[in-house]
Amino acid sequence: MSIELILTTRIPSPAQEMLEQEYVCHKLYEAQDRDAFVRSVATRIRGIATFAQGGVSAALIDALPKLEIISHYGDGTEKLDLAAAKKRGVVVANVVGLVENCVADTVMALMLNVMRRYPQADAFVRSGKWTAPNTFPPATSLGGKTVGILGLGGIGSAVAKRAVSFGMHIRYHNRKRKDLEYPYDPDVVTLAANSDVLVLAVPGGPRTEKLVNAEVLDALGPKGYVINTARGSVIDEPVLIRYLQERKIAGAGLDTFENEPRIDRRFLELDNVVLYPHVGTYSIETRSAMAHRQLENLRRHFSGLPVVNRVV
């Protein structure tokens, strides 16, 4: 008998196609009456496959009496009710360990784009304004600048490695100090004060919500830049917009937003911010690896083997 899953949201290609080839997939995200939909399949569901904002609530877990596993196509788990899963004995697996390099590349791209103003340079040429040498204004170099990394885990460490190759200096703040060569700052405000570029590489969730606030941005100062590929919730967005408008910080590079994809329209009016549509892991190679890992976690669980990346 085929194993049946609930998909809480559309999962990027090729992951969803791979899941549908192997399992019976019920698409919760297409249901007009979600509660009725869940009731109609509840007794047959053994797994949930999810991604990004799809999430898994305690109510959904409680409604599925045969649920065994939640396989998440992503790293961050703040949209999954881990406590409810643990209480029920439901396995939760993600794809940690596959996205670090791709996200770190995105951090460096944002850094280059906002500091060196490459998008503006491209637009300058396309608009026909390049009529004589040296007419595009100079921008800010990366070399010699200090990068403060908030969260020196897998992604933060990959960023540090790349930034060093650009001739940048590294500082960091974690909840716990690590035995590393990089200078450690005891809090976010001190890290910002000691940095030219503040890179956010922490998980989302209540613990980090609006961690980057006015006090942090004041410490970063009018020559400082903030780069966020973590979660939009980590920054106080209205404060960030005001500081960008008033040039209280030099600029920002953002891949994540508080209410994505419906971002605050005021961002679009600013010339000192670079905006990406949450593409930190969007390379063909990384997405393929994520798809295979999500499927592998399901296969292993239903074969009686431990999953590769167990969260709960």
Active-site residue set: 231, 260, 278
DSSP collapsed to 3 states, the chain = CCCEEEECCCCCCCHHHHHHHHCEEEEHHHCCCHHHHHHHHHHHEEEEEECHHHCECHHHHHCCCCCCEEEECCCCCCCECHHHHHHHCCEEECCCCCCHHHHHHHHHHHHHHHHHCHHHHHHHHHCCCCCCCCCCCCCCCCCCCEEEEECCCHHHHHHHHHHHHCCCEEEEECCCCCCCCCCECCCHHHHHHCCCEEEECCCCCHHHCCCECHHHHHHHCCCCEEEECCCHHHECHHHHHHHHHCCCCCEEEECCCCCCCCCCHHHHHCCCEEECCCCCCCCHHHHHHHHHHHHHHHHHHHCCCCCCCECC
